[in-house]
Amino acid sequence: MGPSDYYNTAKFYLRQFSGLKTIPSVANRLVIMIDEDTSSLKDFEEIIRVDPTLVLRLLKLVNSAYFSLRTKIKDISEAVAYIGVDNLRNMIILDALKNLFRGTSESQGFSRNQLWLHCSVTSICCQMIAERVFVRKGEDDFLCGILHDIGLIVEDQVAPGKFKSFCQTYDPKTQNIIAHERGVIGTDHTTISYLLTREWGLSSDLSQGVKCHHRALDQVDPASHAGVLQIAEYLVSRLGYDAFPETVTGIISPPLMGHIRDNIMGYRAIMDDLPLEIQRAKEIYSLEEDGDGLL
């Protein structure tokens, strides 16, 4: 099989997966509006007010202890102005994703809850790297981290038999995860994740980061989403936040290792501060623990 075959199989799985309504229509429209960056606060209000649950989540967030506002906000437009459209987009996508990670899998050794923990911590680490090392807003990097392994959930739901066989036969110490996925499932989770982010209208750089997180690249800008995501996965794996079938991350592009060595004190500080940032993310993105064991 060639690259086109892997893409066609991934597209076939996504067509089946779309029936699960991963992102509600209101949320999908908001994501597109945010990406286009031409809408007013009133435009956002008109869309948000159609979804009462989203209205409650938005007002709960803006009136939380994290923002510590003196006066309670009841206006949707004002709430969006306070939290920012990037945080709004991430909140919308996270609400949709959390339901996908709940429940059990038929594949022995694979845990959706553990995968959610891995993706959540990776996303938090991505945002820390973007903000502390590269001094930019990190909301897109957060989103890249939370979405990078969503293809595994697609495979588990759409092709449970093949995914179960993949999990049973995958040895992270001796096998390349992408090659083994393609051999058993006919595609791989990075291709599926990439296509899904493009379908949702997310930026091409973010999608490329998702697509390349298991590739050892000869040339990669550490500040790109691909660079930040690989560095984040490298760091969190050393803190024990891996998730089967990614028990061993193992992939980090050579240019990124040089970058880490040149900035080692900054990255050590990020690893030291990561637990505190996890608590902060629970507040702003509602990554709270619940009965299903999600973060």
Domain boundaries, the chain: 3-285
If you search the block for the tokens 């079938």, which residue do you land on? Answer: 245
Per-residue pLDDT of the chain (295 residues; tens, 9 = 90+): 677 899 999 999 998 886 454 566 677 777 778 777 788 888 888 888 887 878 888 888 888 877 788 889 989 999 999 888 888 888 877 877 777 777 677 777 788 888 888 898 999 999 999 999 999 989 889 999 999 999 999 999 899 999 999 988 988 778 888 999 999 999 999 999 999 888 877 889 999 999 999 998 999 999 999 999 999 999 998 888 887 645 555 578 999 999 999 999 999 999 999 988 888 777 666 655 444 444 5
Distance CA 125, CA 171 (A): 26
Which residues touch 14 (CB under 8 Å, ≥6 apart)?
154, 192, 195, 196, 199
pLDDT of residue 286: 60
pLDDT of residue 295: 53
3-285 CATH pick, 3.40.50.300, 1.10.3210.10, 1.10.150.20, 3.40.50.150? 1.10.3210.10
pLDDT of residue 283: 66
Task: Write the DSSP assignment of 224-293 as a string of letters.
Answer: SHHHHHHHHHHHHHTTT--BTTBS------HHHHHHHHHTHHHHHHHHHHHHHHHHHHHHHH-----TT-
* Global confidence as pTM: 0.83
pLDDT of residue 291: 44
**Structural contact between residues 64 and 46, judged by C-beta atoms closer than 8 angstroms:** no
